[in-house]
Amino acid sequence: MCGIVGAVSQRNIVPILLQGLQRLEYRGYDSCGVAVHQGGELKRARSTARVTELDAQVHQDGIEGFIGIAHTRWATHGAPAVHNAHPHFSHGVGADAQSSKAGRIALVHNGIIENHDELRAELQARGYVFNSQTDTEVIAHLVDSLYQHDLFEAVLQAIQRLKGAYAIAVFCREEPQRVIGARAGSPLVLGVGQGENFLASDAMALAGVTDQIVYLDEGDVVDLQQGKYWISGRKTEGGFARVERPVKTVHAHSGAAELGPYRHYMQKEIFEQPRAIGDTLEGIAGITPDLFGDDAYRVFQSIDKVLILACGTSYYSGCTAKYWLESIAKMPTQVEIASEYRYRDSVPDPKTLIVTISQSGETADTLAALKHARSLGMAQTLTICNVSTSAMVRECKLAYITRAGVEIGVASTKAFTSQLAGLFLLTLALAQSRGLLSEAEEAEHLKAMRHLPVALQAVLALEPQVIAWAEEFASKENALFLGRGLHYPIALEGALKLKEISYIHAEAYPAGELKHGPLALVTAQMPVVTIAPNDALLEKLKSNLQEVRARGGELYVFADGDTKIESGPGLHVIRMPEHYGPLSPILHVVPLQLLAYHTACARGTDVDKPRNLAKSVTVE
């Protein structure tokens, strides 16, 4: 998704800006650009190609400067095209539009401005000329229209006219010493260097430049100059006042992690799962609410239901956890897609624990759903999140930080299984706090959890068998995924993985639901992937498989060893190494990830950056 980098220094900051963009590249983008103050003018380069091409263009055009801003864009308003790429310049009014005064304000923006049509009409009526279809250009002109020799003041006034979400970085031709940043609804951090300061939408963009990071709060505006900065925060009674925000030492990893022997980051991340789960569970000697924060014991005593809010793959980990929470902790649990929950009328109950799940911790819909739940009086909040410095962790009372490490592939894999590990721990901690977990049960679950890395290695060893299936899947255009109970969300996740990276249309159903409609789709052309653990629903599932076979459907079954499901005509079986009780979803999802990955490779898609998608969805 969109990325911002900005800098004020005494050295040429273009290499820092471009490296920053490169570190954010993995999130997905369709155009990029950089602008600097050079020779009393605004200079910029923009491209719909990769950041490396932008780099070449910058060198060719001799673009250098001591202050500047840069951006990777993921199109929302206006097609991915050079004229829509950021930075946007304001173009002055009337005669100024054609004169050397053209290009006074340079601006980059993440987020969506909801009242951009209204502002555009107003600015056009005043003579501003628009060169793009973006909502961002509206902000550039708006700042220009309010500018009276103080950029900070102009930005303060401009943001009070904006409705929607934004993180912006702005500089002005007439003030070559400062860059102004502001945020509301989209993340922005300040990087403090030696005599130089930086802005970025993620601390990762500044890895290797500075580890001194200030996380700007909602509504903050920051004035960056050489060796100094000021932050203004929104006052509850309205207006702004100078505020101090803590500087944190953040060891952000560079997004450009080594690929090693792997072809893609997704493959690397699938194979990192034994390590990711091992790290996520490291040091856990026993189950205790303290794992989730100092106040967790009191919070757990005060709630009698759970509401999980998340998007995409993280939503499916929540759906899996519902089965655990209701069967092991006997805790009534509801799971909602964040973008739905935030806009619907619901019945709040203050005795609810709100659990958000997020890899990035910056997903706009999940953050908004959390705030919505809080505004309804549900104050007990907990997050399962992979980024300890994220807005989600800062916004929630309690947290469990998964240690999957930086996930670069857009399709989430190791973050998902690490979330499941965190959610299983939460289930056990809630069960314990309700007196539903005996010491023997605790010991048994802990033993199974500690064995997960080894069990995962055995599943990863199935890769050659999965590759053989993937070659057959590559020529298909549709696929069905079936699961029951605890494994129905895993079927959903398998279908999501296949569709997002191979572009094969895939749908998942609870196997028992087949005859209520989707069975009509089953022909010899329709591969039906089935998750067949040796659990209480196995016999029911076998009947569902018969229903598919009777209609000529081709079954591809991941079956636990002792299920007695054998390969035969129209029935392909890959045998899972061992049955894993309640933790079985963590193992069964792995061959589905591999199937999606190898099918996508066979179809030649851009596996790590699937079309139209972005990592870390910071807009609504």
Residues of this chain that bind ligand F6R (CB under 6 A): 311-314, 358-360, 363, 366, 411-412, 496, 500, 616-617
Least Cα distance to 362 among 340, 322, 381, 390 occurs for 390
Which residue, 314 or 432, has its beta carbon nearer to ligand F6R?
A: 314
Which residue, 145 or 413, has its beta carbon nearer to ligand F6R?
A: 413
Can you read off the two tokens belonging to residue 274?
A: 């034994």
Bridge partners (DSSP) of residue 39 are: none
Which residue, 57 or 605, has its beta carbon nearer to ligand F6R?
A: 605
Alpha carbons within 13 angstroms on the beta-carbon side of residue 9 total 23
Place of tokens 């190494």: 577
**Selected catalytic residue, list 43, 322, 497, 615:** 615
Which residue, 72 or 544, has its beta carbon nearer to ligand F6R?
A: 72
Distance CA 492, CA 509 (A): 7
Distance CA 511, CA 483 (A): 6
Q: Report the nearest approach of ligand F6R to the CB of residue 313 (Å).
A: 3
Least Cα distance to 453 among 314, 587, 313 occurs for 587
Q: Report the nearest approach of ligand F6R to the CB of residue 609 (Å).
A: 12
Distance CA 478, CA 69 (A): 44
Strands 31-38 and 41-47 turn out to be: antiparallel
Which residue, 24 or 67, has its beta carbon nearer to ligand F6R?
A: 24
Least Cα distance to 272 among 409, 442, 400 occurs for 409
Which residue, 223 or 493, has its beta carbon nearer to ligand F6R?
A: 493
Contact 136, 111 (CB under 8 A): no
Helix (H), strand (E) at residue 507: strand 505-510
Contact 139, 4 (CB under 8 A): no
Q: Report the nearest approach of ligand F6R to the CB of residue 558 (Å).
A: 19
Q: Report the nearest approach of ligand F6R to the CB of residue 41 (Å).
A: 39
- Within 41-115, residue ranges assigned H as helices are 51-60
Q: Report the nearest approach of ligand F6R to the CB of residue 363 (Å).
A: 3
Distance CA 380, CA 353 (A): 5
Which residue, 72 or 616, has its beta carbon nearer to ligand F6R?
A: 616
Can you read off the two tokens belonging to residue 433?
A: 């706090």
Which residue, 197 or 366, has its beta carbon nearer to ligand F6R?
A: 366
Contact 497, 453 (CB under 8 A): no
Which residue, 223 or 500, has its beta carbon nearer to ligand F6R?
A: 500
Angle between helices 312-327 and 414-433 (to 10 degrees): 30
385 annotated active-site: no
Distance CA 350, CA 392 (A): 20
Q: Report the nearest approach of ligand F6R to the CB of residue 395 (Å).
A: 13
Distance CA 348, CA 379 (A): 11
Q: Report the nearest approach of ligand F6R to the CB of residue 335 (Å).
A: 14
Bridge partners (DSSP) of residue 555 are: 528, 571
If you write DSSP's letter for every residue of 386-451 in order, what string do you get? S-TTSHHHHH-SEEEE-------SSS-SHHHHHHHHHHHHHHHHHHHHTT---HHHHHHHHHHHHH
Which residue, 366 or 389, has its beta carbon nearer to ligand F6R?
A: 366
Q: How far is CA 520 from CA 92, 523, 548, 592, in A?
A: 61, 8, 10, 24
615 annotated active-site: yes
Can you read off the two tokens belonging to residue 232?
A: 């203004």
Q: How far is CA 213 from CA 8, 63, 273, 490, 576, in A?
A: 15, 27, 29, 38, 45
Q: Please count the residues of the chain.
A: 620
Q: Report the nearest approach of ligand F6R to the CB of residue 26 (Å).
A: 12
How deeply is 332 buried, as exposed, middle or buried, from its count of CB atoms within 10 A (0-12, 13-18, 19+)?
A: middle
**Selected catalytic residue, list 2, 32, 311, 601:** 2
Q: Report the nearest approach of ligand F6R to the CB of residue 276 (Å).
A: 14
**What is the chain's Cα-based Rg?**
26
Q: Report the nearest approach of ligand F6R to the CB of residue 617 (Å).
A: 5
Distance CA 219, CA 521 (A): 51
Q: Report the nearest approach of ligand F6R to the CB of residue 85 (Å).
A: 23
Least Cα distance to 164 among 112, 102, 206, 220 occurs for 112
Which residue, 359 or 584, has its beta carbon nearer to ligand F6R?
A: 359
The CB-nearest residue to ligand F6R is 312
Place of tokens 């619901």: 346
Active site positions, annotated: 2, 615
